[in-house]
Amino acid sequence: MSANANGRSERFDVIIVGAGPAGSAAALLCARAGLKVLLIERGEYPGAKNVSGAVFYGSAIVDALIPNWWEQAPVERHVCRRDLVLMSPTTAVSLDFRSAAPGYVAPPYNAFTILRPKFDRWFAAQAEAAGAFLLTSTVVDDLLWEGSRVVGVKVRRDEGEVRGDVVIACDGVNSWLARKAGLQRELETHELALGVKEVIGLDEAVIRQRFHLNGEEGMALEYLGAVTEEVHGGAFLYTNKTSLSLGVIAQLSSLVEHKKRPYDLLETFKAHPAVAPLVRGGTLREYSAHLIPEAGWKMIPDLYTDGMMVAGDAAGFCLSTGIYIEGINYAMQSGLAAAEVAIDACRRRDFSRSVLRLYLDALRRRNVLTDFQAYRHAPSFVNGERLQNLYPELAALASEALFRVDGNRKQKLLPLYWRSLRKVGGKPSHVLRDLYQVTRAYLW
Ligand SMILES: Cc1cc2nc3c(=O)[nH]c(=O)nc-3n(C[C@H](O)[C@H](O)[C@H](O)COP(=O)(O)OP(=O)(O)OC[C@H]3O[C@@H](n4cnc5c(N)ncnc54)[C@H](O)[C@@H]3O)c2cc1C
């Protein structure tokens, strides 16, 4: 079937809405199991409007489906360097990770930088090659119901009803379908971040030299602190083959509170003394913006009802903890988990909640719910006032004092940090409280 999936007579085993990583992964697995699969995408092609940084950490997931997938897929660079950078307005203090261990400089690689329009198109084509019908430029407006069971979708086309035994909603962060099914509530602004991103063209040789990379090696830098001024958020910079992807991610409620425009924050970021030399001489290729579900465990909706499951960003599966911004891999894992259950349901000819509840087990087996539960305290900690503003400032001030040699007496480390803490307005009692929060959020 091509782009004319019309008419009431058309019936599918599985209808998947959204050809992002979640939807295409689900479609690929269902099609391989021999099911009749319809993958509906509103964009002109899969990925046309999709936005990520992006570092793709799901290499092993795709490798299990398509061995040595990176040899044929449109990947940019394999990531062997990662930096976590704390910023004050003038200073950057970073934890620099570089590895020659397996997975970083030799295949099978751990992570790749990608450009979503190319990658999503390629990934959806794998689902098509496996037998899924891809219907593009088609918006799903609503669900079809029989009593309390979802039995298909309404699409914005003439005769626009398509019936299916199972619907998998992979329609992204603002999932219309999850809300229509009563599974997700209206999201609050503190649960969402707005990501604004630029792709800046830069010569390949300049990228290698500037970031100390060889060949196809790549680097991912994540920034916290004054990079978003007083707004809660962070920034990123990733190396592609002949471009850099960089952007700012800002909590929506904090943007509103401080009356800041994300584009201005992006300009401030690019002008920071630690960033400006990295982007110098580049030419703007594209600009995009997108929402991110960043509250983690607390915003996960009910994940299934009779005849329907929710996966990917639509289910809030984006792990945003300051250390990790991982959504593509969890989108794929949840799409695959939903597909496994859809396949099972089709075999049993039972699409009721009592079968679809197995989706929760599949999500645990694929480490989705387990990871989000383990890091459930991290999103609120990372968006806390002190981690956002005070500690990056402290790290900068203390490092400036530590590395300054001016003939004065050298201070030992504890008094140096103590003095710096007082200067930035911090209190020892806060530090003790935050140590507890760090332990709870990240360590144990
Ligand atoms: C600025 C930014 C940086 C990020 N960086 C990273 C990163 O480096 N690494 C990482 O892993 N994650 C990153 N993420 C998160 C990642 O982009 C998401 O978690 C991931 O895209 C979720 O995939 P998905 O398939 O669930 O949803 P999406 O990728 O949003 O795909 C949803 C699809 O559904 C389609 N759709 C929506 N509604 C309808 C409808 N009604 N009818 C038909 N089609 C519809 C859309 O067009 C889209 O193709 C970033 C996000 C942003 C915004």
Render pLDDT for 162-173 as a digit per residue (tens, 0 to 9). Answer: 999 999 999 999
Continuous segment of H or E residues that includes residue 284: strand 283-293
Q: Are 251 and 233 in contact (CB under 8 A)?
A: yes
Q: Are residues 437 and 346 in the same domain?
A: no
Q: How far is the CA of 228 from the centre of ligand 1 (A)?
A: 23
* Separation of alpha carbons 90 and 404, rounded Å: 15
Half-sphere exposure of 227 (CA within 13 A, CB side): 32
Buried b (16+ CB within 10 A) or exposed e, 349-382: eebeeebbebbeebbeebebbebbeebbbbbebb
Asked if residue 55 has its Cβ within 6 Å of ligand 1, the reply is yes
Closest CA to 249 of 382, 133, 68: 382
Of 337, 366, 395, which residue is a domain's last?
366
For residue 108, tell me if it sits in a domain. Answer: no
Same domain for 349 and 393, yes or no, is no
Query: Is the pLDDT score of 189 beyond 70?
Result: yes
Quick: pLDDT tens for 302-340.
999 999 999 999 999 999 988 889 999 999 999 999 999
User: By the 8 A CB rule, do 424 and 394 touch?
Assistant: yes
Q: Are 194 and 291 in contact (CB under 8 A)?
A: yes
Pair 417, 348 in one domain: no
* CA pair distance 368, 384, nearest whole angstrom: 24
67 and 144, same domain (yes or no) = yes
d(CA 105, CA 213): 11
The Å distance, Cα 415 to ligand 1 centre, comes to 47
Q: Whose CA is nearest to atom 15 of ligand 1?
A: 327
Q: Are residues 349 and 390 in the same domain?
A: no
Mutational test site, ligand 1, from 16, 191, 292, 326, max ligand atoms within 8 Å of CB: 292
Q: Is 439 inside a domain boundary?
A: yes
Instruction: Identify whether residues 48 and 180 lie together within a single domain.
Output: yes
317 and 431, same domain (yes or no): no
Total domains in the chain come to 2
Which 8-state DSSP code applies to residue 134? E
Q: How far is the CA of 133 from the centre of ligand 1 (A)?
A: 20
Ligand 1 nearest-atom number relative to CA 293:
19
Query: Cα 291 from chain centroid?
Result: 10
330 and 434 share a domain? no
Assess whether the C-beta atom of 290 lies below 6 angstroms from ligand 1: yes
65 lies in the same domain as 169: yes
What pTM value is reported for the model?
A: 0.95
Q: Among 366, 400, 415, where does a domain finish? A: 366
Range(s) of the domain holding residue 397: 380-443
Q: Is residue 95 part of a domain?
A: no
Residue 242 lies in a domain: no
Q: How far apart are CA 12 and CA 104, in angstroms?
A: 42
Residue 3 clears pLDDT 70, i.e. is over it: no
Q: Measured between alpha carbons, how far is 235 from 247 in angstroms, rounded to an integer?
A: 6
Instruction: Tell which one of 62, 173, 328 to mutate to probe ligand 1, the residue whose CB is within 8 A of the most ligand atoms.
Output: 328
CATH number at residue 70: 3.50.50.60
Residue labelled with tokens 């009721």: 352
Residue 176 placed within a domain = yes
Among 134-148, 178-192, 357-371, 420-434, the minimum mean pLDDT is found in 420-434
Look at residue 291 and tell me if it is in a domain: no
Categorize the per-residue pLDDT at 182 as very low, low, confident or very high, splitting at 50, 70 and 90. very high
Contacts 24+ apart (CB under 8 A), 413-419: none
Q: What is the mean pLDDT of the chain?
A: 94
> Which residues, including other chains, have CB under 8 Å from residue 242's CB and lie 6 or more apart?
201, 202, 203, 204, 207
Task: Answer yes or no: is pLDDT of 19 > 90.
Answer: yes
Closest residue by Cα to atom 35, ligand 1, is: 18
Q: Do 351 and 415 belong together in one domain?
A: no
Indicate whether 35 pLDDT > 80: yes
Of 318, 329, 332, the one to substitute when testing ligand 1's pocket (max ligand atoms within 8 A of C-beta) is 318
**What integer pLDDT is reported at residue 49 of this predicted model?**
84
Nearest CA-CA partner of 69 in 109, 28, 117: 109
Judge if 359 and 428 occupy the same domain: no
User: What percent of the chain is modeled with pLDDT above 90?
Assistant: 83
Distance, CA 117 to ligand 1 centroid (Å)? 11
Same domain, 18 and 145: yes
Answer yes or no: is 130 within a domain: yes
- How far apart CA 346 and CA 51 sit, in angstroms, is 33
Residue 387 is assigned to a structural domain of this protein: yes
CA 48 to centroid of ligand 1, rounded, Å: 11
